[in-house]
Structure 1
Amino acid sequence: MDAGSLNPFSNLRGRSRCPLQEQILQRINSKENLDRFIPNRSAMDYDYAHYMLTEGRKIKENQIVFSPARDAYRMQLAEALNMNRTRILAFKNKPPTPVELFPSNHTTSVHPAKPLKPRRHIPQSSERTLDAPDLMDDFYLNLLDWGSSNVLAIALGNTVYLWDASDSSTSELVTIDDDNGPVTSVSWAPDGRHIAIGLNNSEVQLWDSASNRQLRTLRGCHRSRVGSMAWNSHILTTGGMDGMIVNNDVRIKSHVVKTYRGHRQEICGLKWSASGQQLASGGNDNLVHIWDMSKASSNSPTQWIHRLEDHTSAVKALAWCPFQSNLLASGGGGGDRTIKFWNTHTGACLNSVDTGSQVCALLWNKNERELLSSHGFTQNQLILWKYPSMVKMAEIMGHTSRVLHMVQSPNGCTVASAAGDETLRFWNVFGVPEVAKPAPKVHQEPFSHLYRIR
């Protein structure tokens, strides 16, 4: 085959060339054109090229008028032969014919569209309101807790009352005499049966709620009132006005097993992480400390792993995230008004949101990525936030004084709040979980060895 046979326009030799042909041949034969575009012969249609350079070109230039029937025939022929193109040369292969991955029958769908989840209704009024006379209007105390047995405990002055959510019955657990009272904190043990009661005289009492009897009294932990407590299995961690944090093993006679020193003023909040490895503490000195259980030593005061100093007011509200183990939310008092999020592995502050009012308590939704906060002056409201955008989903009014305490039912749906207006309100703010999970079995052995020491 000679070189001329490789030229797609070799069959035009000996014929008169139109100006378009001359331009193309000059471009192909030009040696000065350094940025050449070489056509891909295997991708070209020679019949179409010949037609466009001869008959097709004459028709367009001379504007030959055909009869309507003949004109319609030519149009259909051009469409059938795909002659409505304008480009002659081809520089790359045609793309492969698309493969239909799914059947063209649209009557049945392989992947039916997922129905949109209906927007949850968030009630703006409480489901139930109970009187809470003599509830102390003190920001630093923790007077409300909801146990795993679905019983809520509230301290009103010198008396601790129990409200059973299953039948709405109320009973009195204990009334402390004036020399030791008032009650400054309450905290249910993980088994939902035993409860710790912190007192103004620095002591802590342990009670069996089923038999309404006192099991023992923990003394020597603090020098002043015990305003915050948190359980970690058989370890009861207490925080006092003296700035001390103490781990008490309730199974043994010498119950003080570890101490944590870092705060200079009263301990307002204590929360153990779900794993029981990290403890978060908040104080009236505007500090948040993160302590690691594995690094604790019984021989000397334990050193914190992170000292968080970004808040500018007392920190009472603390909440560990249920879906991210190293995420902690903290809320500042009236001089701070922010909710801050911390990576407790690195100590980094991930976000800070100005709420505009005193943050008294924080609760994570166990079923959705949401955070609920309760506030003091000026609105005394509850705010539901979408996490991590921190967009307000709802502001819930009802209390007429600062909402000091907020706890969650065992199933994570109902929230109880207690305020300085001496009312206890119940809110269905977190909705109903899609799939009810069975409650985990609680090992009660650690509490079977409580010493009855008064």
Structure 2
Amino acid sequence: MSQFNYLNEINSLATMDGPITRGPLQRWAKKGCNENINPSLSNSFKNHSNINISSCNQSLQKLSISANQSCNNSALSNNKTPTRNENKKGKKTPSKTKSPGHSTTPTPNKASKTPNKADRFIPSRSNSNYDLCHYMLSRDDDKSEETPQTAAGEAIGRALNDTEPGRLLQYTCKAPAAPEGYQNRLRVVYSQTKVPSSVKCNTRYIPQAPDRILDAPEILDDYYLNLVDWSASNILAVALGNSVYLWNAGTGQIEQLLTLEGAETVCSVGWVQGGGSHLAVGTSMATVELWDCEKIKRLRVMDGHSGRVGSLAWNMYIVSSGARDGHIVHHDVRQRDHAVANIHGHTQEICGLKWSPDGRYLASGGNDNLLNIWPIAQGQHYSQPQHILSFNQHLAAVKGLAWCPWSAGILASGGGTADRTIRLWNISTGSNLNTVDTKSQVCSIVWSTHYKELISGHGYAHNQLIIWKYPTMSRVAELSGHMARVLHLALSPDGTTVLSAGADETLRLWKCFMLDPSKKKEPTDAKAAKSLLNLNSLIR
């Protein structure tokens, strides 16, 4: 019998369209039903103490079905099941489990005193109009049927000059201009941090191709020689084999200065400072010749070396020469006895020699991987150097030497194939400021007079020119075009053009230091105009 009761109970629970027979009554029905409860039914229910749980569930189901017809029977469905009791505080506690011989007595209903916590609200589905909801969701927007919210949004949009109804804010193409003389006091607070110089937009255009290409036949492919120099008078001197040629960069005129006899070759050339017409020429016969280029005349021949003279440097009326014998000789061109000093600081050939712009230091680099600095104090004789600074950080011959024209005491040096580095030195403190690996043989270095940059010429393995930013030594540009290593570099008097001489027997002119149009300034007096012709001019 119990199995049929169970099936009937399942069927009643699964019925969806019938009346709700289980669960508590609504609040409005609960109050009236509790007052008119039939005491005879409750007393008879209490007397049946031996009723089992299944029969109790069946009777409760029947009483709940008749609850819609009689409030007396519906009150019985509000009673709690006999398996749970309620303590004085209103908390539910499980009933104690008893033996099969004992019976369970139901707890009298307390709904009239305290509300039932299990009561819940079930909305009536008959009140929902699905046709109306479907119409409201699927209908198109009609301007004739406007809600108050839509009308308010359009009014605000018209007040803000909005183009679309209902939109409160809209991006415009450009903000209105501030009134004349307006100053934003919050500009300092909300201004951006300063952008690094490496990220700033560079308006200067650096051509990747040379401006002009000149032929240089029979130029010697020798790393230790210095065969090109550009004077302050805009005259370029180039040594080709045993001859020296002069090229006027302004007019394009070419003139042959000299030709050595026999098997002699020209190993170095150097213009006098200050825009003069005198040119020093070092030969393979260990001599230094002094020529007047205006008169095309040799003035004198100066000796003092036992090997070829591969490097020359001028300091006013003193011309210093470095040779394969490792000696440096200072020649005073004003005196009959020209050799005023003979310095021994290298054990192998000297391939780099440069005087500082202020004439206080002489830098020499040799094939013995040494970089030596020779200080000369004011009023001191050249034969008595105060002390010598020697640096041995390079791992190959040091040929590329260049003094910074706008920062005193800063020197750049470059090493050969086994070293491939460019090092920046502070001669005042003797410290190495920066070192960069160029991945190529460093043949020559030149500083820019307009920008805080320097350019280097390289040999194996890339045969290119690289522009570096000072002092970070980050690459600004790479200039390629030579088919062989770039042996020599020279800077034009105006500081805008760099000439490179390669072992491919070509001379290439690169306009890599042209003035930025946004930063270009015209000289305001004669002194500033004169400084443009000076290699020691400051950065603008």
TM-score after normalising by structure 2: 0.59
2:236 is the counterpart of 1:152: yes
Partner of 2:363: 280
Which residue of 493, 497, 512 corresponds with 1:429?
512
Aligned to 2:502: 419
Q: How many Å separate the matches in 1 of 2:471 and 2:489?
A: 21
Q: Aligned match of 1:252 in 331, 335, 347?
A: 335
Mapped to 1, the partners of 2:216 and 2:391 lie a distance apart of: 35
Does residue 1:200 correspond to 2:273, yes or no?
no
1:299 Cα shift? 9.0
Against the structure 1 CA distance between its residues 402 and 128, is the aligned structure 2 distance closer, same or farther, given a 3 Å change threshold? same
How do residues 212-231 of structure 1 correspond to structure 2 at under 5 angstroms?
A: 212-219=296-303, 221-231=304-314
8 Å Cα contact 1:248-1:255 kept in structure 2: yes
Rounded Cα–Cα distance in structure 2 between residues aligned with 1:222 and 1:204:
9
Q: Is the 8 A contact 2:331 2:340 kept in 1?
A: yes
- Equivalent in 209, 212, 234 of residue 125 of structure 1: 209
Distance 2:383 2:216 in 1: 42
Q: Determine if contact 1:337/1:354 at 8 Å carries over to the other structure.
A: yes
Q: In structure 2, what is the Cα distance between the partners aligned to 1:143 and 1:374?
A: 14
* Residues 153-210 of structure 1: CA deviation (Å, up to 9, x unaligned): 000000000000110110100001125x200000001133110000000011111111
The yes-or-no answer on 1:107 pairing with 2:180 is: yes
Are residues 299 and 323 of structure 1, via their aligned partners in 2, closer, same or farther at CA, if it must alter by over 3 Å? Answer: closer
1:358-397 → structure 2 map (5 Å cutoff): 358-397=441-480
- In the alignment, the residues of structure 2 paired with residue 367 and residue 229 of structure 1 have an alpha-carbon distance, to the nearest angstrom, of 25
CA contact (8 A) 1:259 1:302 kept: no
Distance 1:296 1:328, change over 3 A: farther
Name structure 1 gaps, 5 residues minimum.
1-103, 444-454
- The aligned runs of 1:84-103 (5 Å cut-off) are none
Please point out which of 265, 270, 279 is paired with 2:348: 265
Report the equivalent of 1:439.
530
SS at match of 1:349: strand
Does the residue aligned with 1:439 lie in a helix, a strand or coil? helix
1:188 to 271, 275, 298: 271
> Which residue of 389, 394, 400 corresponds with 2:483?
400
- Tell me the SS of whatever aligns to 2:529: coil
> Do the aligned partners of 1:140 and 1:316 also contact (CA within 8 Å) in 2?
yes
Q: Residue 137 in 1 paired to residue 247 in 2?
A: no
Give the Cα separation in 1 of the matches to 2:265 and 2:456. Answer: 27
What SS does structure 2 have at the residue aligned with 1:363? strand
What is the aligned residue count?
A: 336
Q: Deviations over 1:206-265 (max 9, x none)?
A: 11111101111112x211100000000000010000000111100000001122211111
Taking the aligned partners of 2:349 and 2:302, their CA distance within structure 1 comes to 19
| Structure 1 residue 440, shift from structure 2 partner | 5.0
Report how far residue 386 of structure 1 moved.
Answer: 1.1
* 110 and 226 in structure 1: CA distance in 2 versus 1, 3 angstrom threshold: farther
- Is the 1:375–1:402 contact (alpha carbons within 8 Å) kept by the matching residues of 2? yes
Match of 1:210 in 2: 294
Contact 1:261 1:303 in 2 (8 A): no
**CA drift at 1:398:** 0.5
Could you tell me how far apart the structure 1 residues matched to 2:203 and 2:499 are?
23
Could you tell me how far 1:432 is from its partner in structure 2?
2.5
Shift of 1:344: 0.5
Q: In the alignment, is the contact (CA less than 8 A) between 1:162 and 1:171 conserved in 2?
A: yes
Cα distance in 1, alignment partners of residues 508 and 445 from structure 2: 16
Q: What is the CA–CA distance in structure 2 between the aligned matches of 1:240 and 1:284, rounded to whole Å?
A: 11
Counterpart amino acid of 1:107? E
RMSD, matched Cα? 2.4
Going from structure 1 to structure 2, the CA distance change for 1:294 and 1:321 (only over 3 Å counts) comes to same
Classify 1:296/1:134 alpha carbon distance in 2 versus 1 (closer, same or farther; 3 Å): farther
SS of 1:404's partner is strand
Q: For residues 354 and 264 of structure 1, what CA distance do their matches in structure 2 show? A: 26
Letter in 1 for 2:455: L
Q: Output the CA distance in 2 between the equivalents of 1:337 and 1:441.
A: 33
Question: Could you tell me how far apart the structure 2 residues matched to 1:290 and 1:299 are?
Answer: 13
Report the Cα offset of residue 330 of structure 1.
0.3
Q: Deviations over 1:68-122 (max 9, x none)?
A: xxxxxxxxxxxxxxxxxxxxxxxxxxxxxxxxxxxx9742367999xx9752111
2:321 counterpart (225, 229, 238): 238
Tell me the equivalent position of 2:148: none
Deviation at 1:388, TM superposition (A): 1.2
Aligned partners of 1:373 and 1:384 also within 8 Å: yes
What letter is aligned with 2:180? Answer: T
Is the Cα–Cα contact under 8 Å of residues 249 and 255 in structure 1 kept in the other structure? yes
Change (3 A) 1:377 1:257: same
1:171 matches 2:255: yes
Distance in 1, matches of 2:382 and 2:237, equals 35
Q: Which runs of 5+ in 2 are unaligned?
A: 1-176, 192-199, 523-527, 535-540
Cα distance change on mapping 1:110 and 1:275 into 2, 3 Å: farther
* 1:6-21 → structure 2 map (5 Å cutoff): none
Question: In the superposition, relative to structure 1, how do residues 300 and 171 fare at CA in structure 2: closer, same or farther (>3 Å)?
Answer: closer
Give the TM-score normalised by the residue count of structure 1.
Answer: 0.70
Q: 2: distance between equivalents of 1:154 and 1:305?
A: 33
**Cα separation, 2, equivalents of 1:317 and 1:177:** 30
Secondary structure in 1 matching 2:377: helix
From the CA coordinates, give the structure whose radius of gyration is larger.
2
Residue number in structure 2 paired with 1:95: none
Q: Distance in 2 between matches of 1:141 and 1:343?
A: 26
1:349 aligns with 2:432: yes
CA apart distance, 1:323 = 1.9
1:393 Cα deviation after fit: 1.0
Contact 1:162 1:172 in 2 (8 A): yes
Aligned partner letter, 1:435: K
Could you tell me which residue of structure 2 aligns to residue 324 of structure 1? Answer: 407
Alpha-carbon distance in 2 for matches of 1:304, 1:144: 31
Residue 435 of structure 1 deviates from its aligned partner by 3.1
Q: Equivalents in 1 of 2:367, 2:377: separation in Å?
A: 26
Give 2:496's aligned amino acid: C
Q: Aligned equivalents of 2:322 and 2:336: distance in 1?
A: 20
CA distance in structure 2 between the partners assigned to 1:347 and 1:152 by the alignment:
34
